[in-house]
Amino acid sequence: MSCRRGALIVLEGVDRAGKTTQCQKLVHALQQSGRAAEMMRFPDRTTKIGQLISSYLEKKSNLEDHTVHLLFSANRWEMVPLMKQKLEQGINLVVDRYAFSGVAFTSAKPGFSLEWCMNPDIGLPKPDLVMFLQLNPNMAANRGEYGIERYETSAFQRTVHQRFEELMQDSSVNWKRYLQQQWRGQAHRCAFCRAGAGSGRSRLGTDRLHLG
Ligand code: FDM
């Protein structure tokens, strides 16, 4: 017997915006309402590729900028069979960062166009909903442990935020923006209906990831 496919819900935002907490709350809320839901995160630091990325982020190793961009993308691609399997089984996937982070962070570096950054992710399963948690980068900087990993400087995060703003202009992606005061304990409540999860309306993996 076939079951309805799960929804692919992505949470995006600058570092320390609270994405992980909201992902956990959303998974919990979905499960409480009787729906199958699981969380994934990118980078997934558990794989071999993920370990290379993790070491880079922790500043234990250096990687050339194009190379690390492609590794982030490869880290998503290696999870695609599992993602598709779970979605087809009717499991709703709540994903902490996705290709939008990939594009926003690399294109915040000098010499990288949005177009170049998008290319390796074309063809990834398209999310049914992308929730953007908006937090002023100066507020993010005051949060615990900020500054330990690579990219955690206010100046860089401001540029990342600008790149996200550009990506959010793409109306073929179902973006929903939450301001900080809105999402405190709230974002997960309306995410489910916005994604069409469990309704059978959501689409599985169009062959192109519309990032811009
Ligand atoms: N990041 C994340 C990228 O630069 N590219 C990507 O494709 C992804 C998914 O890695 F600074 C950056 C964003 C962030 C870091 O941090 C991952 P968390 O705390 O694991 O989300």
CA trace torsion 113, 116, 120, 125 (10° rounding):
60
What pTM does this model have? Answer: 0.88
> Is residue 97 lining ligand 1, measured as CB closer than 6 Å?
yes
pLDDT digits (tens, 9 = 90+) for 131-164: 999 887 677 777 777 788 999 998 999 999 999 9
- 76 vs 99: CA distance, rounded Å: 8
Cα separation, 195 vs 175, in Å, equals 10
Cis geometry, peptide bond prior to residue 43 (ω within 30 degrees of 0):
yes
201 C-alpha to center of ligand 1: Å? 30
Ligand 1 and 101: CB distance under 6 A: yes
Type of residue at 175: W
Distance of CA 145 to the CA centre of its chain: 21
Confidence of residue 70 (pLDDT cuts 50, 70, 90): very high
**Is the CB of 116 inside a 6 Å radius of any atom of ligand 1?**
no
Indicate whether residue 157 lines ligand 1 (CB < 6 A): no
The three-state secondary structure class of 84 is helix
Q: Whose CA is nearest to atom 7 of ligand 1?
A: 102
Residues 11-31: pLDDT tens digits? 998 888 889 999 999 999 999
CA distance linking residue 141 with residue 133, whole number of Å: 15
Quick check: ipTM above 0.90?
A: yes
Ligand 1 centroid–CA 114 distance in Å is: 16
Q: What is the distance between the alpha carbons of residues 51 and 74, in angstroms, rounded to a whole number?
A: 12
Q: How far is CA 18 from CA 9, 58, 78, 140, 205, in A?
A: 16, 20, 26, 9, 27
CA distance 44 to 40: 8
